Amino acid sequence: MQPTQFSWIRSHRVAIGSFPHSWTALEQSGIRKVFSCCGPEEGEWSPPAGWLSKRWHLPDHRNPMLLKPSLLASALDDLETMAREASTHGALYLHCWAGVERSPLLAVGLLCRLENTNVLDALAQVRHLHPQAKPIPAQLILLEELIETERRTANIASKD
C-alpha cells in the first residue's frame, strides 16, 4: 500500500490531499481528524477509532450533479467546526479522490472563513502550497458568492 501524499495548508493544523491509502502515515504526521468530500462509490472509508471524521459527498467533474449552495455551506460549516476543534484531536486532513478539485475548493473556503481573506487570495495560497489544486471554476464562483453573502449578512447583523 502506497503512503498518502498530502500538502500542509496550515502547518501541522490543516492538510489536503487524495483519498487516504495509509491512515498510519497520516497519524504519524499528527493527523487525527479527517474530512472527506468523497461519495460511498469512491472507496471504502473507515478512519481509525478515536479519530474525528465527517464525510460529505460533493460532486466533481465526473458527476453531472451541480454543487448546490446549501450543500457547500453545510459542508463548510462542518469543516470549519472540525478545524476549530481542540488541537488535542490532532491536525485535520481534508481530502477528495484525487486532491485536485473538491478538497482544494473547501480549503479555499476554510481560509476565507477562518482568516477573513477573499477567494482569490485564498486560492493563490492553496495553489502555492498544493500546486495540483484545480478547483472547478463554476464551483469557485459559487464559493465566492457564498462567502460574499455570508459577509454581507454578518455586516448587516453587526449593525443591528
pLDDT tens digit sequence for 77-130: 999 999 998 767 789 999 999 999 999 999 999 999 999 999 999 999 999 999
Instruction: Reply yes or no on whether the pLDDT at 3 is more than 70.
Output: no
The pLDDT value given to residue 85: 85
pLDDT tens digit sequence for 23-68: 999 999 999 999 999 988 888 888 999 999 999 999 999 887 889 9
Separation between Cα atoms, residue 30 and residue 28, nearest integer Å: 5
- pLDDT category of residue 158 using cuts at 50, 70 and 90: confident
Q: How many Cβ atoms from other residues are within 10 Å of residue 25's Cβ?
A: 16
The pLDDT value given to residue 2: 46
The pLDDT value given to residue 160: 64
CA-closest candidate to residue 34, choices 136, 139, 106? 106
pTM: 0.93
Instruction: Reply yes or no on whether the pLDDT at 22 is more than 90.
Output: no
- Record the cell numbers describing residue 116, joined without a space: 477573513
- 88 SS3 class: helix
CA-closest candidate to residue 21, choices 99, 85, 87? 99
